[in-house]
Structure 1
């Protein structure tokens, strides 16, 4: 799947169901998976992520046929975990992860994107638990994330890339670096989502330059600073913030993606950079023009 080592390292651009307003395996507000696949190929992308498990066909033979005839390949699967709860949630977590890891491997992908669970409900804003972790919970998160990294590597040949996310316990620069410093680089790499990191006050270029050896994957996304300021002022949960338009297509928001891509390019490694513009819910005719403009913009950035 990766570029042969004899060739120069490069950034592989893709997109994901998220950019088509897909957040759930099945939702009447979302476009059918066939339309997503048709349009992501039409917009000029070669790589996709699996998105929420069950949205795309979970039978690898069916999915291989569907992607292959459109010239698409899979870069990663995605799982949500609550590993800060410790060993008590391991069996339930592994049951969830193993099916997705199996499909991810079957599709020839090498990465598993791991997103921590939300501390408040993504739709209602209901507070589910404290927004900050205790010292004990941080220990559980680090230990169990390493365990997950080891298991998916040994059983499925996958690389775990941890995705900091708004409204989770791993969000700000302080929390992201705390997790990185507490985990084994051989087991845990980072999926840097430029939009989520900016949403939580982080500087993506600085993070790449400081922790370059931990960057294993990118999600490309921008936030609207004006909407973000209102979101923070009002304490709006992430889901409603997205509905208000906090995430925008480049180059209309922050961070600037050209410096981010330049910094990533200096790492001199093969790297996936997947466009993920949160747009749930959205009108079915909205994603394709945005995806097309975004792909053309990224080409102007040299990728």
Structure 2
């Protein structure tokens, strides 16, 4: 049975270093509202957003009848000097989840998104020359595998890679290259529908193409009109998000009916995590979370 979760990023709790951080909603309210809007799981969010002591974390998750299913770990993987720091960060997060009893949770590994100016400024419209060099590709893939292997060897926790606009792995071609360069037994793919569409691809096609590599799924919708409006003003990634490029499910271009049909055909029995990325202080996250859950119910989930 497919299970439906939501994540703190839908409440504006992001990994980026933003001035708006002070407007973040506290983790207690986020967990309460995830529960109240009909979800049964959550991701951890940025390190320190939720308790970092295993027993306290477990108590907060368990008392709401939720499950913890993964944690986002950003690493500047194109820089070999950052790999050891990435290993340390991933192990810290994996140990927390393991000690709290969430041994089936994933490390959701990603680039240090929005840390490279040219990628942030050109999110959704990446042109040749803005990507990794051949040498950097080798370094990047090596970093992904090193982190995944250490985490698996130490705690038995698996790693999925999350492609993301404003990072080095954004376009369908970049995702394909990374998948080709990494061990399919070691590194899975977290397919994010909205980021795949924003990056220029068709998420339904990606589901078919990477069926054996997709261990984790994010449901996010994408509004191409908003992306175009942002591009016309040379808006960066944050401008697009602020304008609402990641809209409520069913209001964008992602064909979720086809996606659910494909997931059912593939006998996918794991988690779907709803993510409607917003910046702190934007909109009404609980209302959006409820609308997204109600929409997913119309898909039979």
| Cα offsets for 1:34-78 (capped at 9, x unmatched) | 111111100011100001010011111111111111111100011
Aligned to 1:4: none
What SS does the corresponding residue of 1:145 show, helix, strand or coil?
helix
Q: Distance in 1 between matches of 2:76 and 2:265?
A: 33
- Tell me, yes or no, if the aligned pair for 1:120 and 1:126 is still in contact at 8 Å: no
User: How far 1:282 moved relative to its partner?
Assistant: 2.8
Quick check: 39-48 or 102-111, which moved more?
Answer: 102-111
Q: Which residue among 89, 96, 121 is the counterpart of 1:96?
A: 89
| Cα offsets for 1:203-241 (capped at 9, x unmatched) | 111111111101111111011111011223443221221
Instruction: Give the aligned CA root-mean-square deviation in angstroms.
Output: 2.2
Q: Distance in 2 between matches of 1:121 and 1:16?
A: 26
Q: In the TM superposition, what are the counterparts of 1:1-303 in structure 2 within 5 Å?
A: 10-24=1-15, 27-86=21-80, 88-107=81-100, 108=102, 109-118=104-113, 119-121=115-117, 131-283=130-282, 286-303=284-301
What SS does the corresponding residue of 2:22 show, helix, strand or coil?
coil
Q: How many equivalent pairs are there?
A: 290
Moved over 6 A (4+): none
Quick check: 258-267 or 42-51, which moved more?
Answer: 258-267
| Cα offsets for 1:252-300 (capped at 9, x unmatched) | 11212121122122222322110010111334x7011111111111111
What SS does the corresponding residue of 1:190 show, helix, strand or coil?
strand
Gaps of 5+ in 1: 1-9
CA distance 1:235–1:158, shift in 2 (3 Å): farther
- Tell me, yes or no, if the aligned pair for 1:146 and 1:183 is still in contact at 8 Å: yes
Q: Distance in 1 between matches of 2:94 and 2:117?
A: 25
Q: Distance in 1 between matches of 2:291 and 2:85?
A: 41
Quick check: 109-118 or 135-144, which moved more?
Answer: 109-118
User: How far 1:126 moved relative to its partner?
Assistant: 11
| Cα offsets for 1:172-206 (capped at 9, x unmatched) | 11111111111110011100110111111111111
Per the normalisation by structure 1, the TM-score is 0.90
Quick check: 19-28 or 88-97, which moved more?
Answer: 19-28
Quick check: 22-31 or 169-178, which moved more?
Answer: 22-31
- Tell me, yes or no, if the aligned pair for 1:161 and 1:188 is still in contact at 8 Å: yes
Aligned to 1:3: none
